[in-house]
Amino acid sequence: MLQPAPAFRFAILPAQGSHGHEAVQWLLKRHCSVTPAQLGWFYVSLCVVSMAVAGFFWLQGVTMVMPFAWAELLGVGAAFLVYARHVGDGEKIVLEGGRLVVEMETAGRMQRAEFDREWVRIEPRDGDGSLIEVSGQGRSVQVGRHVRPELRPALAREIRLALRVWQLGPESIASVQGQRGDSPLTL
């Protein structure tokens, strides 16, 4: 079972990498209380109730209720569509072997960047609370969109620590876990 490691507040250890090796993995996702399917059923029920009320008043001779009900449902439907499109957004950062892989999904579009562990830099972009810039070999990506701004420096320190410790080998992470007494923290 995957659990947050005590030394790492955000990471999941041990994670299986793409080649079956041990890896350190960070999954940064939105917390969404409603799935797209639940939202769809809610929208259908909202449409039924709204059209029933508008139909009742239309039958009573108040004909202007129906266009406003349609406009309301179209506006709410557009807002729900935007929400449903972004419900799966997230960032996955995997440190495996000599590579740091960053995968970002936004509105169903996946971006992937790979960096050599020895040449990657992890730093805040503009200061406290800003996104974390991962750069190396002429490329750079920004991560941390789904982490509260005050926790981003801790995430950056954790990724830096994992990069340093990983030099010594994956088994050295277990020794770091035993030395640090941080409690796991959920986002």
For residue range 122-132, what is the model confidence (pLDDT) as tens digits?
987 666 678 99
d(CA 139, CA 143): 13
Beta-bridge partner residues of 134:
122, 141
Annotated domain spans of the chain: 3-30+90-179, 36-86
- 181 has a pLDDT exceeding 50: no
- 185 has a pLDDT exceeding 80: no
| Per-residue pLDDT tens digits for 39-57 | 999 999 999 999 999 999 9
| Per-residue pLDDT tens digits for 67-117 | 999 999 999 999 999 888 888 899 999 998 889 999 999 888 999 999 998
d(CA 61, CA 124): 62
CA atoms within 13 A on the CB side of 94: 19
Give the pLDDT band (50/70/90) at residue 14: low
Q: Which residue has the higher pLDDT, 148 or 97?
A: 148
Instruction: Compute the C-alpha angle 67/70/76, nearest 5°.
Output: 140
The 3-state DSSP class for residue 147 equals coil
What pLDDT score was predicted for residue 20? 57
What CATH class does 3-30+90-179 carry?
A: mainly beta
For residue 37, give every residue at least 6 positions away whose Cβ sits within 8 Å of its Cβ, in sequence order, or none: none
For residue 113, give the DSSP letter.
E
Percent of the chain at pLDDT above 90?
47
* Helix 65-86 vs helix 36-59: crossing angle, to nearest 10: 180
What pLDDT score was predicted for residue 27? 92
Burial class, 167, CB count within 10 angstroms (exposed 0-12 / middle 13-18 / buried 19+): exposed
Percent of the chain at pLDDT above 70?
79
